[in-house]
Structure 1
Amino acid sequence: MRPFWIEQALFSDGALAPALQGDTTADVCIVGGGFTGLWTAIQAKQKNPALDVVILESDLCGAGASGRNGGCLLTWSAKFFTLKRLFGEDEAVRLVRASEDAVGHIERFVREHRIDAEFRRDGTLYTATSKAQIGTLDPVMAALEERGINSYRELPPQEIARRSGSAKNLAGVFSPEAATVHPGKLVRGLRRVAIEMGIRIHERSPMIALSEARPAIVRTPCGSVTAKKVVLAMNAWMASTFAQFERTIAIVSSDMIITERCPELLAATGLVDGVSVLDSRTFVYYYRTSMDGRIMLGKGGNTFARGGKIAPIFDERSPYEGELTEALHDFFPSLKNVPITASWNGPSDRSATGFPFFGRLNGAPHIFYGFGYSGNGVGPTYMGGQLLSSLVLGEDNAWSRSPLTQGPLGQFPPEPLRYAGSIVVRNAIRRKERAEDEDRAPWMIDRMLSKLANAAGKADKAA
């Protein structure tokens, strides 16, 4: 089943790139035609127009996480404490600024290349939907302010309710450094631009074998690419393809619903622009409107994969459609009679740190990888393209020297402990947040177990 965004994008761009037939050569072969692969190819080609680049995509460009997310283009500013702990203060400040710069870079790119990605730079609201969530971002906002990189401002409760369209949002902060996009149209637009730049793309051409010799050889069912350098941009599928990464990510669904068009009702709630709204749960509720007058609501942390395998459920309607619909009506009672057009889900590659990681496969100097975006990849994949293109071209810059290139910084427990533990922690978080919604004190054991989900959280805590 094609997710809603990709179905819409393919309606206006139904052309398929040909599958690879026969053997070919290239300077660079990129495996994966989503945001990471496309941004890497485009940025490498911009720096070196003579570079011969081939992209191999197992399905259609954007059919993975890139075309089935919520389209919230966010930054890393709310995760400053974790960045500082992992990489040091100077790099943390640089990465916060780079993540905010990425919003502007993407905006300029889609305008310059006439990509109808429905880009709306209307900012983001981080809200509290229970008393326990109020003030969650205060410590990180103070730290950002101290370093001169704070883009947030607290709004009065009535302004939060007005701008978010829902009285369920009790408090919150606003940052203008964010946008929303139609992810399917963005990824298909990047594909078009890549082809116009002379980048060769082969869809329906999965990698079935990789020779790490120099030059490397990437084999597909009907051909091969012999390349001086290879970039693996497969995101959640890396764990099921390369055994060494099986414990570096937990594959968990992000589930979404979208309504039929109801622009008049949305306007009546106060949702009149493209602001994204995220609450302060561990597995957040997030929502935004679309350009054609719909509202999309999603939530992460629902279905967990066993052993890094992408189960069929990730390509079906969301099994949590009922719960998501109930949550939508809780935020917006006036929409109870608006039909749900579609629901879908997809695999999110959650790393132990909550940040992507990059490196060289088995230490090979000519094979690079990057994944682990942890459900926040629309903007950071542009940064991934900056980093990977720097590595591919052998550049000595802040990206190639970044500690993000050190590979995974932590592992999850082996199976079956990881899967069982994920379910136990997820259920504890649900009980804890249900108690907070009802203004009750959560069980102590649920509070303790919830602290184990740091990597899945939206924002840092001061501790």
Structure 2
Amino acid sequence: MSGFPVTPAARDAARRALTDADPSVYWTSQPGRPPTREPLTAIDRVADIAIIGAGFTGLWAAIQAKEDNPSLDVIVLDQGRVGDGASGRNGGFVSHSLTHGLHQGVALWPDEAPVLEDMGRANLAGWQATLNRYGIEADFHLPGEITFSLSPHQDEGVREAYDLHLRHRNEVSLLSREAAYARVHSPLYRNGFFDPTVGLVDPARLAWGLAAAAESLGVTIHERSQVTGFEDGGGGSGAVVVRTDAGSLLAHRVIVGTGAWPLLRRTRFFVIPVYDHVLMTEPLSADQVAAIGWSGREGLTDAGNQFHYYRRTLDDRILFGGYDANYHFPGRIDPSLEQSASHTLLAEHFFSIFPQLDGLRFTHRWAGVIDTTSRFTPMFGTAMGGKVAYALGYTGLGVGSTRWGARVALDLIHGLDTERTRLAMVRTKPKPFPPEPFRGVGVRITRAALAREDATGKRNLWLRALDRVGIGFDS
């Protein structure tokens, strides 16, 4: 059952629009990608900190570690290239939320929610200051975000979200049907609310810029260096042996920021890989831009369980993604899974929202793996007696919050007692997902139940049972 209305005309427009779409990531296909960095082969010293993963978590950890103490020897290892993973494949939405949205933070940690909101705002200010300090050109701008209702039973949810944001000092605006249409011209919008604090960025250029900033501070980055495991106390040094497919190194401390790739056994029941699909259009003509309005270039989303996210780029393309989050038994991650019928579904939804854009073409179609937890928020912890720390599970909302997560990981490897490490969000783990085959069956049942709720507005017994035990599924 689908809660999204698709017209025959939208299906025809989608089929034509996808004809020549390139099966590649738009962001990392742009000119200006840095040359490939050398892989790790051998090292003749003990590094102070080894960071596994050159995505946002790893790069933010490297920068902040060197800013704290410029004398530290920091090495970053990645199995691919900077920006290859989720950090270079997302929609580029930058939120101050550390908890996958305000509603989730209030639901999980009502007493700590005000502190988490303040920390999130401070983190985003630091995020922007870092881009300015190092001259990172990643098309960052702050147009805000509109959440739209697309069905009668979403109307109340939009109003409740608006009221919640007001109670937590967020200066949001409620939009009537007429005001929503005045902002962006779609026949499906019923109402909405506008959050002016959400920014947009080119995620690949952000990753490349952070890597360059880290290197300017003396960080060494090795690409195409897949870590295969750890051992404690290498050579009697007390350091951690980090083994790769072609070499190894010793490090006094290690941070793991590998997202959905399960490097540590202890995290495998807490984080599952979910594929999220994305389309990018060709640049719109002036007439096409006029037909949809959207002069504010806000980031857009809708209020369903299965939601879309979309945005205009600065050269007037439209990125359109989300909705159909796919889990592949038994947690499989493979490039062959990146092209699927989900792109057709997205294209049909796109032309249902914007029927006036019939004739527009998609130039790129891709997917990325989201590291999701059962509570949708990241998890933190240590291994090997505190020598290894991890920060994983951002569930698709990590472009801004990974900077804060990296700071938590640094606190943990240094054994610091800070306001961050005392938070229940950091001290507690999400509920684990069940083992296979129950995990895969449960995900399928949950997806069907969420789709039914989107269609009917009614939350069934299965979803209410998951709510009671604190397990969810989201992208």
- With the length of structure 2 as denominator, give the TM-score of the two structures: 0.87
The answer to whether the aligner puts 1:156 opposite 2:176 as a matched pair is: yes
User: Deviation at 1:391?
Assistant: 2.6
Q: Structure 1 vs Structure 2: percent identity of aligned residues?
A: 28
| Aligned positions, number | 445
Distance across 2 between alignment mates of 1:324 and 1:137? 22
Cα distance change of structure 1 residues 278 and 428 upon mapping to structure 2, 3 Å threshold:
same
Aligned partner of 2:304 in structure 1 is 281
Aligned partner of 1:174 in structure 2 is 194
Tell me the secondary structure at the aligned position of residue 110 of structure 1.
Answer: helix
- With the length of structure 1 as denominator, give the TM-score of the two structures: 0.89
Alignment of 1:4-403 (within 5 A): 4-8=26-30, 11-24=31-44, 25-76=46-97, 79-89=101-111, 91-146=112-167, 148-213=168-233, 214-238=238-262, 241-264=263-286, 265-314=288-337, 316-361=338-383, 364-403=385-424
* 2:216 maps to amino acid: E
* 1:294 maps to amino acid: R
CA contact (8 A) 1:127 1:278 kept: yes
Q: Which runs of 5+ in 2 are unaligned?
A: 1-22
* 1:421 maps to amino acid: G
Cα distance change of structure 1 residues 444 and 228 upon mapping to structure 2, 3 Å threshold:
closer
The CA RMSD over aligned residues, in Å, is 2.4
Distance across 1 between alignment mates of 2:100 and 2:157? 10
CA contact (8 A) 2:309 2:321 kept: yes
Tell me the secondary structure at the aligned position of residue 153 of structure 2.
Answer: helix
Deviates more, 1:335-344 or 1:207-216: 207-216
**Cα deviation digits, residues 340-369 of structure 1 (max 9, x gap):** 10111111111011100111025x211100
Aligned partner of 2:426 in structure 1 is 405
Tell me the secondary structure at the aligned position of residue 205 of structure 1.
Answer: coil
Distance across 2 between alignment mates of 1:145 and 1:326? 35
**Cα deviation digits, residues 225-247 of structure 1 (max 9, x gap):** 21110001101002xx3333222
CA contact (8 A) 1:165 1:271 kept: yes
CA contact (8 A) 2:147 2:300 kept: yes
* 1:333 maps to amino acid: P
CA contact (8 A) 1:5 1:183 kept: yes
Cα distance change of structure 1 residues 324 and 450 upon mapping to structure 2, 3 Å threshold:
farther
Cα distance change of structure 1 residues 423 and 19 upon mapping to structure 2, 3 Å threshold:
same
Cα distance change of structure 1 residues 419 and 390 upon mapping to structure 2, 3 Å threshold:
same
Distance across 2 between alignment mates of 1:150 and 1:56? 38
* 1:6 maps to amino acid: T
Distance across 2 between alignment mates of 1:268 and 1:81? 34
**Cα deviation digits, residues 216-271 of structure 1 (max 9, x gap):** 01011222121110001101002xx3333222123211111010111421243112
Aligned partner of 2:437 in structure 1 is 416
Tell me the secondary structure at the aligned position of residue 218 of structure 1.
Answer: strand
CA contact (8 A) 1:431 1:446 kept: no
Distance across 2 between alignment mates of 1:330 and 1:446? 30
Cα distance change of structure 1 residues 300 and 195 upon mapping to structure 2, 3 Å threshold:
farther
Aligned partner of 1:461 in structure 2 is none
Distance across 1 between alignment mates of 2:441 and 2:334? 16
* 1:150 maps to amino acid: N
Deviates more, 1:74-83 or 1:52-61: 74-83
Cα distance change of structure 1 residues 234 and 347 upon mapping to structure 2, 3 Å threshold:
same
